[in-house]
Amino acid sequence: MTDQPDELFPATRRALLHRIAVAQAEGRTPSLIAAVVRDGRLVWSGARSMIDGHAPTPGVQYRIGSLTKTFVAVLVLRLRDEGLLDLADPLERHLPGTPAGGATIAQLLAHSAGLAAETPGPWWERTDGSLRPALDDILEADAPLKHPAGRRHHYSNPGYALLGALVERLRGRPWGEVLRYEVLEPLGMDRTTLLPEHPHAGGFAVHPWADVMLPEPLTDTGLMAPAGQLWSTATDLARWAAFLAGGDEKVLAAATLAEMRRPAVGPESADWSGAYGLGLQLFRHEGRVLYGHTGSMPGFTAGLWISEADGLAALALSNATGGANTPLVAAELIALTAKHEPRLPEPWRPLPSVDEELLALTGPWYWGATAHALRLKADRVLELASLAGGGGRSSSFRPEPDGSWTGLDNYYAGETLRVVRAADGSVSHLDLGSFVLTREPYSPAPVIPGGVDPQGWRAG
């Protein structure tokens, strides 16, 4: 991702600046900085401050709180993609001796292990990590579970401390070092650190009933650091948003990132506004489904969201414990940019070449009497679209070396599509996970499971 902003229209820039100015003023935060990323490029950044003529630059560090969890999740998914663990593995298999050994790695990533939300003892966010010297100290040994594992989403900060310890065990060095060498350096994020480095913002609490401030403590949370320790900048987080949107083979493939943003546990209400994947939150806002994460630590709040449909991402950082709703600000920056400068579709272009045998497969196919259309896309991908008003199913399929195709999405995700040929070599039908698709409704009869009434179609 380039650090040089592309130009937005003046009206867009004004609308974005107005939104963060309102957030800083009404939220009574000493400072607020925000940025917008479009198609992987930083296109705007802006800031407001309580000091006239002085606002933080995109290179000033803020504490990002639970945005740290997205980084930890990427480290864990790297281990999975390398074959060093399976998400279905119990934690005990790789990190024995913790009170949560029966929880699976997937459950820890998705906050569905049923673990307590916080540590026992004093509030971990405002106290030194030396108060919790061992993993046994971050969970109650006799009652670590608050809910049955795998049944519901229950946010757990200690769960991510365990994931950080898991990374350390399998890599053989501190998780912060692993993060720097495996993720931050490859992505050029040299201003994201475990402890603040100059220049950085100071964290404050603002009195609820008076315009006065109180400095918040700067703590090293020790074993709890994977839950919310990191400091970062608008520039670095813009790079992180670009990575979460498109992936980077040096760090994690786009397909794995897509897996991370799928809801891992079903929503508890029909009108859900939020869900959680594998280290990524999902948030519904103004008709969009956004993914990313929120963050807060004493003295700081943060929000980062990505809209896949719009090719946009936005982030907002503040240095007050409460007040400015930075996650909402980030979501509204996406909405404002999309409103003022909607995404242009890619121009239609013909395929560079065509396989005549694949071209011959395109057109109408029937699952029984339900009409579908098969289309040929780039890279030999086949797209099956339902033409029925109800009951039809649609999916895309990627080609495999053996001549079959594998479903990529929707009902047929992971299922196999095969072309079945007659004795003379002509195409007889398509086999899709045992479903038979033919060129005519229920014809030819010999290939239809269960056969076809010999009297055929009839009226009345």
Cα–Cα distance, 70 to 90 (Å, whole number) = 21
Cα–Cα distance, 36 to 41 (Å, whole number) = 8
**Run of H or E including 16:** helix 10-27
Out of 31, 45, 49, 66, the active site residue is 66
Active site annotation includes 66: yes
Do 387 and 402 meet the contact criterion of CB atoms below 8 Å apart?
no
> Mind giving me the DSSP string for 136-167?
GGSS-TT--BSS-TTSS----HHHHHHHHHHH
**Catalytic (active-site) positions:** 66
